[in-house]
Amino acid sequence: MLSLAFPAIDPIAISIGPIAIRWYALAYIAGLLLGWKYVVYYCTKTPNIMSKRDVDDLLFWATLGVILGGRLGYILFYNLDYYLENPANILKVWQGGMAFHGGFMGVIVAIILFARKRGISILAVLDAAAVATPIGLFFGRIANFINGELFGRTTDVAWGIVFPNGGPEPRHPSQLYEAALEGLILFVVLFVLSRSAFVRHRPGILGGTFVAGYGISRIIVEFFRQPDAQLGFLAGGATMGQLLSVPMVLVGVGCIVYAMKSAPIETRQHPKEAEAA
């Protein structure tokens, strides 16, 4: 079968003595920082739901949600038996083991707590976080590709790749499919929608579009992605990623419908901070 050579990129981007910085860590950092800058930009183009200080603080809350939720989600959804037998490894996040769906739920909890504490619309904060999240997803999936992990199923397509840990047969570069669907395309869709005054004044449309859009993208890609070895295929031949994504699609659509039927939101104004941003 035809196949492309795997571009063997060292997973370690920078190494100084015993200190090693991996591409995966840099992807998280790049996603969070670029996402933060984009949310600041979004808030200057939107009736100022959040001040720049609010956005700065939200970054901290969201980071905690991603890390804690992502780790907990991986443990509960993908490898519970292993961690019950090896509880000491739960904190060893540097060995890998993060789940998007867990990180997503962690961020949702962080957004709810943050919005209530600041007296801001929860859906408005969700919108702001949603428009930037595809940036992090894009970099994260590229990092997955560099690490040669989360690769696809065997294939005979011309762009199949033989991954170092995937056996001798070419496989779908499903990480790149995800980078395109969950990252690039979803970012463009949200960017276009965010330019509409009708959408910006009705919190929940952007957030719902992201949640449903990610769910649909993940369900599609899972048909090409190799299921996790410890789980395999589940009910009806579905994967865990697909089962977890179905509720996201339903919730996302419900959020969009609710937002479109709601009256335009009354927004707070921060003219000085908006000018400074």
Per the annotation, binding residues are 141
In 3D, which of 170, 139, 158, 151 has the Cα closest to residue 225? 151
Identity at 209, one-letter amino acid code: T
Strand partners, 225: 152
86 contacts 239 by C-beta, under 8 angstroms? no
State the residue for tokens 């369900």.
Answer: 219
197 contacts 145 by C-beta, under 8 angstroms? no
27 contacts 139 by C-beta, under 8 angstroms? yes
SS3 string, the chain, reads CCCECCCCCCCEEEEECCEEEEHHHHHHHHHHHHHHHHHHHHHHHCCCCCCHHHHHHHHHHHHHHHHHHHHHHHHHHHCHHHHHHCHHHCCCHHHCCCCHHHHHHHHHHHHHHHHHHHCCCHHHHHHHHHHHHHHHHHHHHHHHHHHCCCCECECCCCCCECCCCCCCCCECCHHHHHHHHHHHHHHHHHHHHHCCHHHHCCCCHHHHHHHHHHHHHHHHHCCCECCCCCCCCCHHHCCHHHHHHHHHHHHHHHHHHHHHHCCCCCCCCCHHHHHHC
